[in-house]
Structure 1
Amino acid sequence: MGPTPRVVSVYAVAVAGVTLPSPLYVTYQDRWDLPSSAVAGLYALYPVGVLLVLALAGSWSDDLGRRRVVILGLTASLLSATAMAGATGVAMVAAGRLLTGIASGCVVSAAGALLVELAPWDRRRHASVTATTTNQLGLGAGALVSGVVTQFAPTPERLVFALHAVALLGALALTTGIPETVPRTGRPRLRLRRFALPHQRRGVFLGLSLAAFSAFALCGLLAALAPDLVRSELDTDSPLVAGAAICLVFATSAVSQYGWRRVNDPSALRWGLWLLVASLGIINVAVAQGLLPVFLIGIAVGGVAVGGVFMSTAALVQASTPDLARGAVSATYLSITFAGLIVPVVMTGFLADTLSQVQAIEVFSISMALSALLAGRLSRTAP
């Protein structure tokens, strides 16, 4: 196996751990009598871990080298799988989720850079799309595998993570055949990364960031609360269906990016935002009426929207930022993007506790649709 397939395999195995717990959240709810807000909070610890890495250790792959940081991330993921497999209460699940975020923050940044740097110059744009696609497919595979195991195997809350631990050990073995693309330049230090807004066209930048925020919010909502929605509002008590629903949003996002590449970035952003608004409306109607097939259609439309929005906003932020400020501005963009996995998801969980799940989804759908429309207006002059 060549270096690039090794990196792709390692990348996919690592990020699969992010969505492995999703079909199990209803099991945790039943066992420990958790409200929706607690489940949303457990999910949100993952992006918190990513943001910690981004803010404090974002330059480690430049200092240590890409391969070493990938190994560090895989080790953190192995610790997470161990904690989740042995969890006897909410605290251990919470610790595992935070470790998952730290692991993902290390692997996504370093493995993505590896894929680009291992590619020939004329294939680097394709390598960048491969990195994004691998990330999305890994997330989808994690939810689907977990759904299958939870549906058909005994003690899935342990078996799922034991299987992932074995896969992670295999991924660690694969790293021995991955060359280092960046020489070690110093000792890693925890230091607060510089964040910045662009000096010009800040409204456009905020619009692009808000668009990505809204798209990620949909992914976060489904990964955190879809299993409970499928069971309580769509009358389908099946972890496999819940895992497949989560897989669908990430799979359609990944596949659609190869189609979005044929569309210029401003058009992809505009159409992606309209599709996002449409998907939110479809999902809202499906949950209110208890229509599982319509719910899945809404998820598929949302996945296509997420693919277009994320690919176009990332490219437009890079294109509109001067070289000297690109690192700090990109860090701000990613921080706002990952906040979409935290704030709307946790707020929806609390609303589900105080109102009802149907009303919470309605508020979420309206809020994110308005957010997407505002993002489109702010970013309409993007290059």
Structure 2
Amino acid sequence: MPESRTAPPKTAAEPPESAPTRWVWLAAWPVTAVFVLSNAATPLYVLWQREIGFSRGMLTVIFACYIAGLLGSLLVSGVVSDRLGRRTVLLPALGLALAACAVFATASGVAALIAARLFTGIAVGAVVSAGMAAVTDVAGPHRRRLAALLASCAMVFGAGLGPLLTGVLSETLPAPTVTVFVVEAALLGTAVLAVLRMPVRRPDAPAKGAWLRIPGVPPGSGGQLTLGIAVFAPGITATSFVLSLGPSLLSGLLGTTSRIVAGAMAFTMFLAATGVQFAVRKLPRRTILTAGAVSTTLSMVALVTAVRTASVPVLVAAALLAGAGQGTGQLGGLSLLNSAVPPDRLAEANAALNVGGYVPAGLLPVSAGYLSDAVGLTDGTTVFAVVLAGLAVAGGLVVLATRRRAARSRASGPA
């Protein structure tokens, strides 16, 4: 599908259009490195739960502290990045991610886990706004679709690689909760080097409006943002549930606490999210979003089936469909914003998309965790799946409605 003939205006934030394609890939590496950390702790929660002692409800609270840090970061990181430059946001974020590694490696109580997750969430919030915008800046106006693909895939591939890396390292090497985060700190060190050499410049546009505010988009781009959130939010909520309560489901269905198995399921989920984006990248954006809504809905149907029949293969299918739902929703949303939002507002627009996605991704799994403590994991999961399936269907209907309106507008336009 050809891009719009009118590219968004270029600003001083953008590098020369001749920046080599390899730099577009390298610009995505900090996103991957931070997202490896975002889910690296997932397979270790069962271990911490046994050693420290806390409920499934508290587990989802620890996970939600990450969401709280992320949302707080999104209130300021996008605006600061657009005004002061990508490096100004990315370097402190990477420093905070390194601090999170140190806290995780020495954690001996719930408070330390909460602090580490909070630091991680702040770093991730900066990366999904400034980091993804940096990929678009490096790509230039004629490679915006490639930039959306690489930024989105960097996020989901890192999110999946973290649990797999943790599962393997923690089962095969000594001191699992230390070794994992030493390796991750090394990955973050290479990301710092990439940011320092990244061909982006500080913008020279004057600051306008408040520095701390709910992220938004320029006038005329609200429709694109709404469509992206309508599909991306249910998709990322589905994968958040698998990350937070997936190990508990595996333990109940398989009777296993293997960190490799838990990490492998998360990895395959996000591998599906990565692969599906390459598969659909040339389709129209609204078709991609429709596919995302369908995938998330089918994921919730499979999740209910899995917990009701104690079927591990169906649980894996639910995870794969959840990954596909997040991947396509994320790609469709980022592509719509890249096509409509000028570079000097792009980081804020990315932040707005992620605020819309991560609010339900924080609230619904926490509710499901505490509900599962009260009524059992099977019934709690069923209620969660029914609610999220309803949201996914609603998102799909919104996308279909806009497609019909666009088709009618083209049919009634001048010949």
What does the per-residue CA deviation read over 1:321-357, in whole Å, with 9 as the maximum and x for residues that have no partner? 8999988776544322111220111001111110111
**TM-score after normalising by structure 2:** 0.83
Deviation at 1:42? 0.8
Alignment of 1:237 with 2:254, yes or no, is no
Other-structure match for 1:28 = 48
Pairing partner for 2:358 from 338, 342, 352:
338
Answer whether contact 1:72 1:106 (CA < 8 A) is retained: no
* Correspondence 1:177-216 to 2 at 5 A: 177-183=197-203, 191-195=211-215, 208-216=228-236
Other-structure match for 1:145 = 165
Answer whether contact 1:212 1:310 (CA < 8 A) is retained: yes
* Correspondence 1:43-62 to 2 at 5 A: 43-62=63-82
* Correspondence 1:17-166 to 2 at 5 A: 17-166=37-186
Other-structure match for 2:397 = 377
9-18 vs 83-92, which moves further: 9-18
Answer whether contact 2:81 2:347 (CA < 8 A) is retained: no
Deviation at 1:25? 0.8
Other-structure match for 2:307 = 287
Deviation at 1:136? 0.8
The residue type paired with residue 93 of structure 1 is L
Deviation at 1:213? 1.6
Pairing partner for 2:377 from 357, 366, 369:
357
The residue type paired with residue 199 of structure 2 is P
- SS of 1:340's equivalent? helix
- SS of 1:373's equivalent? helix
Answer whether contact 1:62 1:184 (CA < 8 A) is retained: no
The residue type paired with residue 226 of structure 1 is G
Other-structure match for 1:223 = 243
- SS of 1:342's equivalent? helix
Other-structure match for 1:307 = 327
Other-structure match for 2:317 = 297
Distance 1:79 1:117 in 2: 28
270-279 vs 143-152, which moves further: 270-279
Distance 2:197 2:345 in 1: 34
| Matched pairs, number | 383
- SS of 1:57's equivalent? helix
The residue type paired with residue 52 of structure 1 is G
* Correspondence 1:240-279 to 2 at 5 A: 240-279=260-299
What does the per-residue CA deviation read over 1:37-84, in whole Å, with 9 as the maximum and x for residues that have no partner? 111111111121111111133222223321232211110100111111
Distance 1:204 1:3 in 2: 28
143-152 vs 283-292, which moves further: 283-292
Distance 2:284 2:228 in 1: 15
- The structure-2 alpha-carbon separation of the partners of 1:359 and 1:204, relative to structure 1 and needing over 3 Å to count, comes to farther
Other-structure match for 1:366 = 386
Distance 1:74 1:351 in 2: 35
Other-structure match for 2:15 = none
Deviation at 1:258? 1.5
Deviation at 1:196? 5.7
- SS of 1:216's equivalent? helix
- SS of 2:283's equivalent? coil
**TM-score after normalising by structure 1:** 0.89
Answer whether contact 2:221 2:341 (CA < 8 A) is retained: no
Answer whether contact 1:148 1:240 (CA < 8 A) is retained: yes
Give me the CA root mean square deviation: 3.1
The residue type paired with residue 331 of structure 2 is M
The residue type paired with residue 230 of structure 2 is L
What does the per-residue CA deviation read over 1:208-253, in whole Å, with 9 as the maximum and x for residues that have no partner? 5233221111111011111121112332331111001111121111
Answer whether contact 2:40 2:162 (CA < 8 A) is retained: yes
- The structure-2 alpha-carbon separation of the partners of 1:299 and 1:156, relative to structure 1 and needing over 3 Å to count, comes to same
Deviation at 1:135? 1.0
Answer whether contact 1:144 1:240 (CA < 8 A) is retained: yes
Answer whether contact 2:215 2:348 (CA < 8 A) is retained: yes
The residue type paired with residue 243 of structure 1 is G
Distance 1:201 1:61 in 2: 19
Answer whether contact 1:56 1:190 (CA < 8 A) is retained: no
- The structure-2 alpha-carbon separation of the partners of 1:324 and 1:108, relative to structure 1 and needing over 3 Å to count, comes to closer
Deviation at 1:153? 2.2
Other-structure match for 2:412 = none
Answer whether contact 2:74 2:215 (CA < 8 A) is retained: no
The residue type paired with residue 142 of structure 1 is G
Other-structure match for 2:33 = 13
Answer whether contact 2:79 2:348 (CA < 8 A) is retained: no
